[in-house]
A and B are shown apart, each in its own frame.
Chain A
Amino acid sequence: MRHLALPILPALCVALAGLMAAPAPAVAQSGPLRIEITEGVIEPMPIAVPNFVPEGGEAGQLASQISRVVVDDLIGTGLFREIPPSAHIGSITSFASPVQYADWKAINADALITGAVSVQGGQVNVKFRLHDVFAGQEMGAGLQFTGTEAGWRRMAHKVADAVYSRITGEDPYFDSRAVFVAEDGPKDARRKRLAIMDYDGANAQFLTDSSSIVLAPRFSPTGDRVLYTSYETGRPQIYVLDVASVGRRVLDTGSGDMAFSPRFAPDGRTVIYSLTQGSNTDIYRMDLATGQSVRLTDAASIETAPSFSPDGSRIVFESDRSGTQQLYIMPATGGEAQRISFGEGRYGTPVWSPRGDLVAFTKQSKGRFHIGVMRTDGSGERLLTASFLDEGPSWSPNGRVIMFARETQGEQGASSLYTVDITGRNLKRVDTPSGASDPAWGPLQ
């Protein structure tokens, strides 16, 4: 098997240590400084993030970069608004000195994040504290993270994750990565390469070259492996790629004409996928250790795009057995399937949310494409987006945000990645270095 010589991120060890001896506080604080994420419109919380204090001459630039990423993460959620440093009255020149809360109250900051960065022998140390300005006190314990200089963005994401969790009570998602298909070239000669990036588009790297069409990568539950479909052998086959070594192997799916649309089970040991034999496409399940496959559906129609429930007991998939693409749920061992989509139009690419309560999907209706969510019983359908071509939702690790691909119309049409909150707010383009499609958001690192 061919291995590509590609730069790999050095293993980043983020040590997590409390700054105080006090017992760890509950992550979700009660009290005044709290954002309840509801379906309604939220007035973003004003926050002040003065540049983290560099401790030692080397840390100056890094301190300012880390502060910026913390701010970008937080305001990127749409839940926070930054009070720019130019509007600050007070300044933080020492991490240890007491905070003059009046200076921050005066500019109407609800939350203040103070931090310090030091560099020693290639190791970066980031400390931070979150302050509830109006209560005039810290919110939770200060924390510090240590890692390599190359991994400085991860430390910034860790800081932002802690702040986000404490204020919203939600699980975090900034310190995560996504795999996707990097695209370039015109529509009739498009080149596709598997790529990996931080959730915000930074640190993008290719995992394959563009010699074969590659499709729809999917992370393993721990983020160590990626399943994807490639035409490397001339026909679509499923590969499993080790993210650290970029080594890959093809899955032996037996006698079918093509195997595609793979996805890991929550335990990481089982893969569900589609296999096409002749004109018929059905869903199968493979035990990765033994290589044994079991057929889960047996219909003359197209059954594809399977996704496990987080507890591994059920599978949501799409089928056109009714005459059009619709969503169905069946037991993880196969058996009778229940249709859950009944609205107007076609429904495809269902993905079970990490919380288990929702299914995200692509919907085609009246010549438009939508990303939407519905409850697992099919009720409560909400369309979050609309465009010429939106496709392929993928959940953030905390189930609050969906990443998807949007292709623009016409001869110059190109694909980009977007994120949208499950409330339907805060639609944003992910800043990828080239065209991009088929995102799969990985776990928190």
Chain B
Amino acid sequence: MTYLAKAILLSATLGLGLAGCSSMSPNRFDNVTNLNGAGAGGAGTGTASDPASPAYFQQSVGDRVLFYVDQSTLNPEARLTLDQQARWLIANRDYQARIEGHADEQGTREYNLALGARRANAVKDYLVAQGVPDYRLSTISYGKERPIEICSEEACYAKNRRAVTVLQAGAGM
């Protein structure tokens, strides 16, 4: 089976996987079902109690880091999360990861696309520096097209300025 076919099959199970997990850590993941493309298409099997499961990665490791306004530098909190992401990815070699960069709505569309790419690549570069093989990581920017929070206040903007590491099965290369 090709990698692409695997990814499609896995993505079909995503809804179930997320729904099963969402009650376990509501404060952090009550937006997961609203991802709508941002974060969708990833692997979503297993339960959060299994440290080798994508659910564990999402909930216990933390699948996203946040950024300051118009910045792509990784703050100390983001680096802590990414250190754990790197450890998990090194330990679980069956997974690839796609890093999705996002911006809040305060900005022009084109610039925000480019800014999302910067953010995704800042995460990718950090993970590679921590020892995750480059070929297992890809990036994509959604600019301001896929907010998860919809209020027009800093509380929402802060959550939308994010890079999400989305697991995909099939790294066996």
Interface positions of A (Cβ within 8 A of B): 186-190, 213, 215-216, 234-236, 257-258, 260-261, 274, 276, 278-279, 281, 302, 304-305, 318, 320, 324-325, 348-349, 362, 364, 388-389, 391-392, 407, 409-411, 413, 438
Contact = CB atoms under 8 A, between A and B. Distances in A.
A364 to B, nearest CB: 7
Contact of B113 (A236, A278, A388, A407): A236
A305 B115 CA distance: 13
A74 to B, nearest CB: 33
Contacts of A260: 110, 113
Contact of B36 (A189, A276, A304): A189
A318 B111 contact: yes
A362 to B, nearest CB: 5
Contacts of A305: 108, 110-111
Interface string B76-120: 000000000000000000000000000001111111011101100
B9 interface: no
28 contacts: A186-B150, A188-B36, A189-B36, A215-B113, A216-B109, A236-B141, A257-B117, A257-B139, A257-B140, A258-B141, A260-B110, A261-B110, A274-B114, A278-B117, A278-B121, A278-B139, A279-B72, A302-B111, A302-B115, A304-B110, A304-B114, A305-B110, A305-B111, A318-B108, A388-B152, A389-B106, A409-B152, A438-B109
Contact of A410 (B125, B148, B152): B152
Contacts, number: 102
A88 to B, nearest CB: 48
Given A274-B114, A276-B114, A215 B109 contact: yes
B110 A216 contact: yes
A364 B113 contact: no
B25 interface: no
Contacts of A215: 109, 113, 145
A235 B146 CA distance: 14
Contacts of A234: 140
A411 B151 contact: yes
Looking at A260, A392, A407, A438, which has the most chain B CB atoms within 10 Å of its CB?
Answer: A260
A37 B146 CA distance: 43
A362 B108 CA distance: 8
A276 B147 contact: no
A411 B121 contact: no
A216 B105 CA distance: 16
Contact of B117 (A276, A407, A411): A276
Contacts of B108: 305, 318, 325, 348-349, 362, 364, 391-392
Contacts of A391: 108-109
Contacts of B37: 213
B140 A279 contact: no
B42 to A, nearest CB: 13
A279 B141 CA distance: 10
Contacts of B74: none
A131 to B, nearest CB: 47
B109 A413 contact: no
Nearest to A405: B109
Closest 6 interchain pairs by CB? A279-B121, A348-B108, A281-B114, A302-B114, A187-B150, A409-B152
A187 B117 contact: no
Interface of B: 34, 36-37, 70, 72, 105-111, 113-115, 117-118, 121-122, 125, 139-142, 145-152
A324 B69 CA distance: 12
A325 B140 contact: no
Contacts of B106: 364, 389
Given A187-B150, A274-B114, A279 B122 contact: yes
A323 to B, nearest CB: 10
Nearest to B141: A258
Given A190-B145, A258-B117, A364-B108, 7 more contacts: A188-B146, A213-B145, A234-B140, A304-B111, A325-B111, A348-B111, A391-B108
B91 to A, nearest CB: 26
Nearest to B41: A234
A304 B112 CA distance: 10
A364 B110 CA distance: 14
Contacts of A276: 113-114, 117, 141
A281 B150 contact: no
A223 B63 CA distance: 45
A86 to B, nearest CB: 45
A94 to B, nearest CB: 54
A281 B118 CA distance: 9
A386 to B, nearest CB: 15
Nearest to B145: A213
A216 B110 CA distance: 9
Looking at B37, B108, B118, B142, which has the most chain A CB atoms within 10 Å of its CB?
Answer: B108
Contacts of A235: 140
A369 to B, nearest CB: 9
A405 to B, nearest CB: 9
A444 to B, nearest CB: 27
B149 A188 contact: yes
A200 B34 CA distance: 35
A413 B141 CA distance: 22
B120 to A, nearest CB: 8
Nearest to A181: B109
Looking at A188, A276, A407, A411, which has the most chain B CB atoms within 10 Å of its CB?
Answer: A188
Nearest to A349: B108
A109 to B, nearest CB: 45
